[in-house]
Chain A
Amino acid sequence: MSYPRRISAIAAAAAIALSALSLAACTADPSPGEETDPTDAAGRSPMLTVGSQYPVMSLNPVLTPVSNVVTFAYDPVIFKANDGSYLPDLATEWGYVGDGNTVFEFTLRDGVTFQQGGELDADAAVASLEYFLATPNSNGRSVGAIDSVEAVDERTVRITYAAPFPNAVESLTQFYGMGLLIGPDGLADPDGLEAESDGAGQYALNPDETVSGSTVAFTANEDYFAPDAIRFDEVTISILTDANARLSALKSGQIDIAQQIPVAQVGQSALEGLQTLTGYTNWKSIQFLDTSSGPLASADVRRAINLAIDRETLVSAFYSGQAKVQEQTTPEGQVGFDESLVGSTPFDLDEAKSLLASAGYADGFELDLLTSTISDQGGLLGQVLVDQLAAAGITVNLTVANGTFEELMGALSGGEHDAVVYGLFANDLYTMVTQSIVTPGTLLNPNGAADTTAEGLIADAAQAADADVFAQTLRDLNAHLNDVSFGVPLVTESSTDIVSDAIVLPSTSYTIPQPNVVAPDPALAISKTS
């Protein structure tokens, strides 16, 4: 039986479905990346679209754990440039009062208004700082033990610390919620900040164009204190958690910047006509969990482990060149980094074996090593380390913790493991040793492996008289940690942003590949050609 014509009705039904798709394809694509309007008289481009991997948990600068989105609407007290320098923003002057780094004051800029109409003065700043301190948030432990915040006069704010805190300037920058001041109207209704911003930033939240979980839209704030610094009429953040989606959006002109593209995609993608920005933002190390007894109590054994690691091979074979060798506790570009320590820990298997023999472990020993899928996908790095240490006669019993941070914490504090492989965000040495490593009770030293010399240097750094003394003390601390092989630095991993060739880039730094999209000085922020 044949139905050549009669089934045409059914075929037509299918055609409806197909044509719906193909008709859609025939319409012009109005994506923002294709706009070619020239910059206007004020030197602004009409639109910038950034593809971000981070879901926006909150548009309240205190509640959000990642500040890269809210900084469009909220300026910090002090701006930190990519080269690490601190520039005036809402504050024009700042410094410690007296000795000991326990009292810090800053002077606020004149003529600044918040987006909902309030004026920036010392009372407004104090109210914002107190709101930060009273609200549980992920940055609270990074700002020091604050005893009180008070208005000295109309423009001067004083912060008093319960203990010496040398990082007051850093804690008031755009990377911590505390420095991103909220106006009095916003503080009166903090929940309302999700729909209407109240910062003193270059852009104000555009609630009409903002879609929860997908898009955050901002419009230029014409009342900004330095209008020439604003480079775009509108900025849109597209939340694209999948790296392939970010790359596709960039290549098809839907976005201008694709942030945080993993190594694999960078290597595989055709990136003609695009700019690649690479920085080194995370470092991996082995941290010893108990150096009070057993083989790890010997500095020679810890040094032998350091010498048995072939970091060059890790970089070339494991990371396909998308990482750099790291031999010291401070990543390059951070306060505490010591150029003289470069090359101090070469791969030397013979020396490693010799040190083990002199420490009484000529036949090697067993090391219980913990790694976590949180920072070591599949435990693959841990497995490579197993093989490398085996060459020196060290038998590594590797445990891969699959799952959450809490599971890792449980495994760390349980006392069952000798060492852990972990990745940390590259930071200045003081922040790392007081929050993550070295100091007893911190993240990667939960059982309190003590080092009195290190603790003395940390205390000295906390009370350093000025930035130079602070940096020198941290370099001394870094050298000491290297001398005693407190841990085993491995590599610094790269982080890559890919941007459209229409973007004009300011200088970026070794550690931070992301160019500033907002900065109080227009020379420090990106712009866009037609």
Chain B
Amino acid sequence: MLNIVVRRLVAGAALLVVVSALTFVLVALIPGDAASNILGPGASEAQLETLRHQLGLDLPLWQRYLDWAVAAVQGDLGTSIVSPQPVATQLGRGLEVSIPLAFGAVLVGSLIGVAVGVFAAVEGRWLSKALDVLVLVGMALPTFWVALLLSSVVGVQLGWLPATGFVSFDDDPVGWLRSLALPVAALCVGGIAMVSKQTRDSVDETLSRDFIDALRVEGASPRRILFGHVLRNAAIPTVAVLGALFISALSGAVLVESVFGLPGLGSIAVRATSTRDVPVIVGVAVYFCLVVIVVNLVLDVVYALINPKVRVRS
């Protein structure tokens, strides 16, 4: 187990270096920079050069990256070029929104998806076939469209939940839950479809295996078979998709945050990209990467715990 964790951490660190360096290079390749954005159209070349010097944008790319990396290792992600705020402060506030949003979508999506999948597997063919159709629909629905629909119907027409905005948990826990309800609902539709299909197929496959027949012959109750054997075996492939589900939720959050006016990492990324605010763009990329690494590490550990084959291989 320790071996798995160490290997994943080393790979994660390497990934962080690659992602941050690539982000630096890609941003540099986009025409324009923060100086032209700050001074606006029509600024003279002399004005631009002066500001570039002040912002350190005239240094070679490798030197800017090295300076950033040395500071980042010490926990300093720098200061936004556009507004003099520490990047870590901005991103910390963004995480307060994006993390609950993504985790909420995975939690709700997996709970409902597992329930629907198991129900479809044990309740006969018509439900199973209906699920196939619903899964297709769920996967095909664009997240932003679902978000718009929920905001318009539930938020505006019915007035049950806030159509936009975010409330901090510290200010009002109930308000926090209400402000996240619709965004989470919009984000988890695809997850429900993905998890329910995976679960249904896994339960189906497990129920058809010989040891289940043996258990029935031995007189094991259906409850014991389902909860003691089927779900444990069926959970292995389901847990494997949760990582993909989380990444999908995190990337989908960019659009959902825009529709619901949430100040998450996605909104920060869009704003920083439009102003060529390199420290913030790289910071967002690193934070996204870190979250994905941590979540995948946790899922790897869980996967190893419930799947003995992985432990043996490691």
Would you list which residues of chain A between 2 and 33 have a CB under 8 Å from chain B?
2-3, 6-7, 9-11, 13-14, 16-18, 20-21, 23-27, 29-31
Contacting pair A241 B115 (CB below 8 A): no
The answer to whether the Cβ of A117 comes within 8 Å of any Cβ in the partner chain is: no
A409 to B260 alpha-carbon distance, docked (Å): 35
Q: Determine if B271 and A213 form an interchain contact, defined as CB atoms under 8 angstroms apart.
A: yes
Question: What is the interface of chain B mostly: helix, strand, loop, or mixed?
Answer: helix
Q: Given A27-B178, A29-B178, A404-B31, does the pair A10, B119 have CB atoms closer than 8 Å? A: yes
A211 engages B93 (CB within 8 Å): yes
Give the B interface residue count (CB, 8 A).
Answer: 75
Q: Does A466 contact B (CB under 8 A)?
A: no
Q: Are A213 and B93 in contact (CB under 8 A)?
A: yes
What is the CA–CA distance of A65 and B111 in the complex, to the nearest angstrom? 46
A529 in contact (CB, < 8 A)? no
* Across-interface contacts of B156 in A (CB, < 8 A): 248, 251-252
Spot the interface stretch: B10-18, B80-88, B128-136, B300-308. B80-88
Q: At the interface, yes or no: A235 with Cβ under 8 Å from chain B?
A: no
Which of these, A137, A249, A404, A407, contacts B163 with CB under 8 Å?
A: A249
Known A6-B226, A57-B275: A29·B85 in contact at CB below 8 Å: no
Between B35, B118, B165, the greatest number of chain A beta carbons within 10 A of the residue's beta carbon is seen for B165
Q: Kindly state whether residue B112 has any CB partner on chain A within 8 Å.
A: yes
CA distance A194 to B275 in the complex (A): 18
Contact with A along B36-53 (1 / 0, CB 8 A): 101111110001001100
Known: A21-B181, A136-B47. A30 touches B175 (CB 8 A): yes
Q: Which listed residue, B39, B163, B185, touches A140 by the CB 8 Å rule?
A: B39
B177-209 CB contacts (< 8 Å) to partner A: 177-178, 181, 184-185, 207
Query: Most A CB atoms within 10 A — which of B54, B166, B222, B268?
Result: B222
Does A163 reach chain B (CB closer than 8 Å)?
A: no
Closest chain A residue to B51, Cβ basis: A136
B41→A137 contact, CB < 8 A: no
Q: For residue B123, give the distance in angstroms from its CB to the closest CB of chain A.
A: 8
Per the bound structure, the CA–CA distance linking A406 and B32 in Å amounts to: 6
- Which residues of the partner chain B approach A404 to less than 8 Å between Cβ atoms? 30-32
CB distance from A259 to the nearest CB of B (A): 13
Tell me the nearest residue of chain B to A409, going by C-beta. B41
Pick from B111, B122, B178, B275: contact of A25, CB below 8 A.
B178
Q: With an 8 A cutoff between CB atoms, is A202 at the interface?
A: no
A36 at the interface (CB under 8 A from B): no
Binds A, one of B62-70, B147-155, B239-247, B290-298: B147-155
Tell me whether A25 and B226 are in contact in the complex, defined as CB-CB below 8 angstroms, given that A136-B38, A249-B165, A403-B31 are known contacts: no
Cα A502 to Cα B51 in complex, Å, equals: 46
Cβ contact within 8 Å between B118 and A7: yes
Given contacts A137-B38, A194-B85, A405-B32, contact A14 B263 (CB under 8 A): no
The reply to whether B83 and A194 contact each other, CB–CB distance below 8 Å, is: yes
A254 with B163: CB separation less than 8 A: yes
Known A58-B82, A141-B42, A245-B258; contact A251-B163, beta-carbon cutoff 8 A = yes
Find chain B residues with CB under 8 A from A313 CB. none
Question: Are the CB atoms of B84 and A252 closer together than 8 Å?
Answer: no
* B271 and A24 form a contact (CB under 8 A): no
The minimal Cβ–Cβ distance linking B11 to chain A, given in whole angstroms, is 32
Kindly state whether residue A240 has any CB partner on chain B within 8 Å. yes
Contact B161 A238 (CB under 8 A): no
Per the 8 Å Cβ criterion, residues 227-273 of B in contact with A are 227, 258-263, 267-268, 270-271
- Contact indicator B41/A249 (Cβ below 8 Å): no
Task: For chain B, residues 93 to 111, give those with C-beta under 8 angstroms from any C-beta of chain A.
Answer: 93-94, 107-108, 111
Specify the chain A residue showing the minimal Cβ separation from B164. A249
A404 and B41 CA atoms in complex are apart in Å by 11
Assembled-state Cα–Cα distance A30/B47 (Å):
48
User: Is A317 an interface position by the 8 A CB rule?
Assistant: no
Query: Is B211 interfacial (CB-CB < 8 Å)?
Result: no
Bound-complex Cα distance A235 to B174 (A): 24
A25 touches B154 (CB 8 A): yes
**Closest Cβ of chain B: how far from A242's Cβ, in Å?**
5
**B122 with A252: CB separation less than 8 A:** no
B260 touches A245 (CB 8 A): yes
Which residues of chain A have C-beta atoms less than 8 A from B169's C-beta?
none
Asked if A264 lies at the interface with its beta carbon under 8 angstroms from chain B, I say no
Task: For the complex, give the distance between the alpha carbons of A360 and B108 in Å.
Answer: 73
- For the complex, what is the distance from the CA of A238 to the CA of B166, rounded to whole Å? 10
| Inter-subunit contact A63/B184 (CB<8 Å) | no
A390-417 Cβ-contact flags toward B at 8 Å (1 or 0) = 0000000000000111110110000000
Q: How far is the CB of A244 from chain B (nearest CB, A)?
A: 6
CB–CB B112/A18 < 8 A? yes
> At the interface, yes or no: A344 with Cβ under 8 Å from chain B?
no
User: Please, which residues of chain B bring their CB within 8 A of the CB of A139?
Assistant: 40
Alpha-carbon gap, A226 to B222, bound state (A): 79
List 9 extra interface pairs beyond A11-B119, A55-B274, A245-B261, CB under 8 A: A3-B123, A6-B223, A58-B82, A138-B38, A215-B263, A244-B152, A245-B259, A404-B30, A405-B41
Provide a sorted-by-A list of 17 A–B residue pairs whose CB atoms are within 8 angstroms: A3-B222, A6-B226, A7-B115, A13-B115, A14-B114, A20-B181, A23-B177, A24-B161, A138-B39, A194-B83, A214-B166, A245-B163, A248-B151, A252-B155, A252-B159, A252-B164, A405-B41
**B residues with CB within 8 A of A:** 30-32, 35-36, 38-43, 47, 50-51, 54, 82-85, 89-90, 93-94, 107-108, 111-112, 114-116, 118-119, 122-123, 148, 151-152, 154-156, 159-166, 168, 172, 174-175, 177-178, 181, 184-185, 207, 216, 222-223, 226-227, 258-263, 267-268, 270-271, 274-275
8 residue pairs, one from A and one from B, having the closest CB atoms: A214-B263, A138-B40, A14-B115, A248-B163, A25-B160, A406-B32, A406-B31, A58-B83
